[in-house]
Structure 1
């Protein structure tokens, strides 16, 4: 697949020799094992340790308050504000950390429907995170890759932590969604579900507002007469209005 030689979004500039773009499943597994970041189980599955976080950390998720979001987000304990200044400070410090690292990047799509899908650049610190991205999202076809355009950028760096005393976060780990700049920053946590939840939060904001579509964290079967059955995951209480 054709891939950019470097990555730049105006704040982060990464050299071509820093980034491995769109590696195959076998290459990502090999690099994970060679760097002692994971092992193969008896059945051949790759096993990795995500460290202290084995679930997402909802108290450490933030949305940047700006002209896009200030009047459109229901702010509170769930949707926590963070200032543009705090986002810029964290992003600048993270950029310095990234300049010394070997990174992995994927060009993928969220949403299977051509009507709703959008492109993602996802940059990760570890190869097994990149493997997670490959499994979760949709890889472009060869023809799609020729004109691939990323609508959002996600940078997930477990080794970088914020300083709550100066950065405006509750903890060293964080997920920050910036709708104005279309960037998600994830730091201090190797739990890859933060990537999934970050994108799902973006869908929860954009699809109802722009397309009159309500995204759900579930699967759905349609019967012969057009009747639909939802199969909800463990967050069933969050989805009760849609039973």
Structure 2
């Protein structure tokens, strides 16, 4: 019976894909847009299969019990069992085994997604601050090695530009509170923690304009901490960086000026 249930679940989900046009066949995920998406998709698909198997098994046992042990007459009462040791043992150990399997595959997927690229093609420093994003493009050939940046405000969100099919190392930092860098199409997010140097590598795999956001409740204007991600050809990417340099957006901004301002007092907190 277990094999039959597993076969039904596998057949039902075999047609699903992270790049399918149908939301149902993507299992509610957005269309995948990075080389790390497949790893997360495999974990997500496995979770759905496990949930479907457990649902069919439990639902089947419920229906079986209703039919097999139903009361057939007013005189006939089903045997009342106070306890059943094998069943109770199953209820105890089965969830432990399920959680252990989930934990194993989660750690395996996490290690694969956090795998570093030996020599990434690009390095982008992500600065999350109250309440905006800044993206610093470091040591690019299009700008003759000058660092340039995109920055915005809560009223005018910034934009992140990335070249398609080229690896990018994201260095994450924050001057104030914990933020979280998240682009749903990349199937990946990572916290931006003050004093903690986090980074991850990724390669965008399809062109388009996506919406990124902060996935950590970071304060008053958290909901406005969004940004647009433009995944474009290398020529368009270089043209954008050249435009930033021509506009004088050179250097590496540290985040919003108000990030270290004490609310209501207009006094700057010390760097310490």
Q: Same fold (TM over 0.5)?
A: no
TM-score interval, smaller chain? under 0.3
Higher helix share: 2
Give me the TM-score of the superposition, normalised by structure 1.
Answer: 0.27
Give me the TM-score of the superposition, normalised by structure 2.
Answer: 0.25
Which has the larger Rg? 2
